[in-house]
């Protein structure tokens, strides 16, 4: 028997009861992470990345949302079975989350110092003055200039990049074993994004945090991730080590995404961009069979009939596409 992975999501399904009907925002998602590893979860808007993260943290708004099934194994326990009390303890102590929009997760009426210090006090049992000192040190570490002055400021006085760094400082204040970062740099300019990604990479080396990194940016994935899960309409369609995913891309959707990117400014120019035809279907009105078949240039007879299972191209590369039927 192989050893239990550090973190594992098994067959997670999360649904929303909307006015128009029931939608499965996350449908049978499974992945795992070894300690210190970074998994990139990529896909286009609405494919279920954030709902996956919220489900892991048990923060899905309920109603309208509900985790329908699945297991989330961490530290030998199934997080979906924990009491609300146990879950509260886990959030922040063991798993921290950085949200897509930093402003919504910082409290506007407290100073930066209060908020970072609060994390230290809650999770490491420090006194007020200890926590304040530790906060200044942490803000310095995440690259905030003159942190001893900044701690007296309020979130709205900071730029987007600064706020995101404060969020990271707060997430790290408790030395979490695991961090979930939902589009941590999407709202930022490229030069600031580069700073934050550098910082996250540095911290990864220093404190060996395991990271679930959610992004729609394949460039960010190539720079940060050890392995990648590509999502489409609530499902994972391809799952592979990062280099394998880019060098031996298997799923037609992943290929389509990669080809739609404008070539990097340092690469050979193209005359035209390749495109994926059509648009992402509504979760209320999904096509039959493979959910990508009506946009797929490779679709053939079985595709509209039944959803393909995962085929295993090798030990670590899984793909949900009938093109690979020959593989077990």
Partner 1 sequence: MTPLLELIDLEKNFKVKASSFRRSRETLTAVNRVNLEIRSGECLGLVGESGCGKTTLARLIVRLEKPSKGRIIFDGQDLSNLNHKDEMIFRRRVQMIFQDPYSSLNPRKTVGSIIGESWRIHSLGNSGERREKVMELMEEVGLRPEFYSRYPHEFSGGQRQRVGIARALSLNPDLIVADEPVSALDVSIQAQVINLLKDLQSKFNLTYLFIAHNLSLVRHVADCIAVMYLGQLVELVPKELFGKVHHHPYTLALLASIPIAKPGAKKKAKPLLGDVPSPINPPSGCTFHPRCPEQVEVCHTIPPELREVSLNHCISCHRR
Ligand X SMILES: Nc1ncnc2c1ncn2[C@@H]1O[C@H](COP(=O)(O)OP(=O)(O)OP(=O)(O)O)[C@@H](O)[C@H]1O
What are the CB-based long-range contacts (under 8 Å, 24+) for 62-67?
63/17, 64/16, 64/17, 64/18, 65/14, 65/15, 65/16, 65/17, 65/25, 66/14, 66/15, 66/16, 66/17, 67/12, 67/13, 67/14
16 is a site residue for ligand X (CB under 6 A): yes
Instruction: Name which position in 33, 39, 42, 47 contacts ligand X (CB under 6 A).
Output: 47
Query: Which residues 265-284 are close enough to bind ligand X by CB under 6 A?
Result: 283
**DSSP summary character for residue 307:** -
Helix H segments across the chain? 49-56, 84-93, 102-105, 112-124, 128-141, 147-150, 160-173, 190-207, 218-224, 242-247, 252-260
What binding mask, one character per residue, do residues 214-243 give for ligand X by CB under 6 A, x or -? --x---------------------------
Q: Which two tokens stand for residue 178?
A: 């695991």
Nearest to 56 by CA among 9, 92, 103, 21: 9
CA-CA distance, 182 to 188, in Å (whole number)? 13
Rule CB under 6 A: say whether 55 interacts with ligand X.
no
Count CB atoms within 10 A of the CB of residue 70.
Answer: 20
Name the one range near ligand X by CB under 6 A: 48-56, 101-109, 167-175, 302-310: 48-56
Smallest gap from Cβ 183 to Mg ion, in A, equals 6
Q: Is position 46 an interface residue for ligand X (rule: CB under 6 A)?
A: yes
Quote the CA–CA distance of 46 and 162 in Å, as a whole number: 27
Query: Which range, of 39-47, 106-114, 218-226, 264-272, touches ligand X by CB under 6 A?
Result: 39-47
- Residue 50 lies near ligand X (rule: CB under 6 A): yes
Nearer to partner 1, 138 or 276 (CB): 276
Q: If binding is defined by CB under 8 A, does position 258 make contact with partner 1? A: yes
Tell me if 25 contacts ligand X by CB under 6 A: yes
Q: What is the largest CA-CA distance in the chain?
A: 68
Q: Minimum distance from CB of 306 to partner 1 (Å)?
A: 25
Give the one residue of 27, 37, 49, 142 binding ligand X; rule: CB under 6 A. 49
Q: Are 237 and 320 in contact (CB under 8 A)?
A: yes
- Applying CB under 5 A, among 38, 50, 193, 254 the residue interacting with Mg ion is 50
How many other CB atoms are there within 10 angstroms of residue 101's CB atom?
15
Least gap, CB of 80 to ligand X (angstroms): 18
Long-range contacts of 132-137 (CB under 8 A, 24+ apart): 134/173, 135/169, 135/173
State the CB neighbour count (10 A cutoff) for residue 144.
20
- Binder of partner 1 out of 134, 138, 197, 319 (CB under 8 A): 197
Shortest distance in whole angstroms from residue 206 CB to Mg ion: 28
- Which spans of this chain sit near ligand X (rule: CB under 6 A)? 16, 18, 23, 25, 43, 45-51, 61, 64-65, 216, 283
- Which spans of this chain sit near Mg ion (rule: CB under 5 A)? 50
- Which spans of this chain sit near partner 1 (rule: CB under 8 A)? 44-45, 145, 159, 161-162, 189-195, 197-198, 216-223, 242-243, 246-247, 256-258, 260-266, 269-270, 272-276, 279-280
């Amino acid at each position: 028997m192989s050893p239990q992975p550090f973190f594992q999501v098994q067959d997670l399904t999360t649904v929303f009861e909307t006015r128009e009907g029931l939608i499965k925002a996350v449908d049978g998602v499974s992945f795992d992470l070894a300690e210190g590893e970074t998994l990139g979860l990529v896909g286009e808007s609405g494919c279920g990345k954030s709902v996956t993260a919220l489900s892991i943290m048990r923060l899905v708004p309920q109603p309208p949302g509900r985790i329908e099934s699945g297991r989330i194994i961490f530290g030998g326990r199934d997080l979906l079975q924990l009491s609300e009390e146990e879950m509260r303890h886990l959030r922040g102590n063991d798993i921290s989350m950085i949200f897509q929009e930093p402003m919504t997760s910082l409290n506007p009426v407290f100073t930066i110092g209060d908020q970072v210090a609060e994390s230290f006090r809650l999770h490491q049992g420090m006194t007020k003055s200890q926590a304040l000192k530790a906060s200044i040190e942490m803000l310095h570490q995440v690259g905030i200039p003159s942190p001893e002055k900044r701690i007296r400021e309020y979130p709205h006085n900071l730029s987007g990049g600064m706020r995101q760094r404060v969020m990271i400082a707060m997430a790290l204040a408790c030395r979490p074993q695991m961090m979930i970062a939902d589009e941590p740099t999407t709202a930022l300019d490229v030069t600031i994004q580069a700073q934050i990604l550098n910082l996250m990479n540095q911290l990864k080396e220093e404190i060996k945090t395991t990271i679930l990194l959610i992004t729609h940016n394949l460039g960010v994935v190539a720079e940060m991730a050890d392995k990648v899960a590509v999502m489409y309409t609530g499902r994972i369609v391809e799952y592979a080590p990062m280099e394998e995913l880019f060098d031996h891309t298997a799923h037609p959707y992943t290929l389509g995404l990669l080809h739609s990117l404008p070539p990097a400014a340092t690469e050979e120019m193209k005359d035209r961009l390749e495109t994926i035809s059509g648009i992402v279907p509504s979760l209320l009105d999904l096509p039959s069979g493979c959910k990508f078949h009506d946009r797929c240039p490779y679709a053939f007879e079985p595709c509209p009939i039944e959803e393909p299972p995962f085929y295993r191209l090798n030990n670590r590369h899984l793909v949900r596409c009938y093109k690979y039927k020959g593989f077990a």
